[in-house]
Amino acid sequence: MYGAEAGGAETERTAFRRAEKRYKLYKSQPPRSRKQPVVNRTDLSDAIDFLAVLESFERDGGTPEGIYRFECPGFALPIFCLEDRPGFYFIPCALTTEEQCHWIRQSLISFPQPPNRTNHTAIYGPISDLLTAVQNKKILVAAEHSNVDLVDNNMRAPRYIFSETSLDAHVEGQGSCKSVAASVLLRKLRWSTLGLQFDWSKRNYDVSLPQNKIPNDLCLLAKKMAVPAMSSGEEFQPEAAIVNYFGPSDMLGGHLDDMEADWSKPIVSISLGCKAIFLLGGKSREDMPVSMFLRSGDIILMTGQARECFHGVPRIFIDDEHAENSDLLSKFSGEEDRCFVDYVKSSRVNINIRQVN
């Protein structure tokens, strides 16, 4: 989805790729059966469970071998680190359920709003009020005047607009283009960018692209959570954020986040929604990665040497046994929350905030 990734046959033989394949979601169809494909069971016994680590520490003050409690004066939340991964910090249960609900709402309502760019922008142009369109069961169709410039934000007029009815649309000079349901667009939303906009084709931040500042409450949260990874007397300066949206079968391949100028400044990564497996490797794909669970409300920090480590998310869990999102779902109780309930049942959102310069 982003960062430096490698491909081809060589990656199939690396330790990181083997770990990805181990945890990836696989389904099998019984021969001559009309039943739904069966999800193959995965051995999860090696994955670090930081919630269990926290509970054990609170009970008897101990931690498993290779894990230690990090002391940060003035920081109220528990922090755990890995002895062999300097610069990696895990803050379990960092957000309350109410805070998680707030950031899920923001991730679906506000963060995809123009001038923020999403994976849909290159195809459809700027799309406004996607979640509202989903709630009203609208359809995206081609706009009649798609080549007119908007004065505000120096953005192109939308090539597509939402309509009440499903009609095939015609784009001048491009032939017919079928309409798309807003609900389909939400399910296919994979990323949005806040603050400084990331140019995926050039793999850099493009200061010429229209942008809004990162919301103040998200900046304050990132500054607060980054404290354990910052040098004494320094304050984290949020300048950009990438929001990743995961569906049931989605994964984030092993990569490095290497486009920021100063790797001594952390990436603040917030997990929301369904539980996931996170892989943290080393400086080479040949290094065997450590696997761990990421639950809704967990926050991880990566700075210094950890910024040089390959990492990824090979799996999210949507089944009742492993998703662990029932408390979160119970907070979306109103009829107007139906879209959030449907989304959270089978999705994960990751907000990662960066200091670019």
Say if residues 346 and 273 touch (Cβ distance below 8 Å). Answer: no
Contacts of residue 323, Cβ cutoff 8 Å, sequence gap at least 6: 274, 275, 317, 345
111 to 40, 192, 220, 298, 327: CA distances (angstroms): 35, 7, 16, 20, 24
DSSP string covering 162-179, please? EESS---EEETTTEEE--
Would you say 120 is a known binding-site residue? no
Q: What are residue 160's phi and psi, to 5 degrees?
A: -135, 150
170: annotated binding-site residue? Answer: no
| Cβ-count burial 2-11 (b if 16+ within 10 Å, e if not) | bbeeeeeeeb
Amino acid code (one letter) for 224:
K
Cis status, amide bond into 64, omega within 30 of 0:
no
- The binding site for Fe cation consists of 255, 257, 311
- The binding site consists of 255, 257, 311
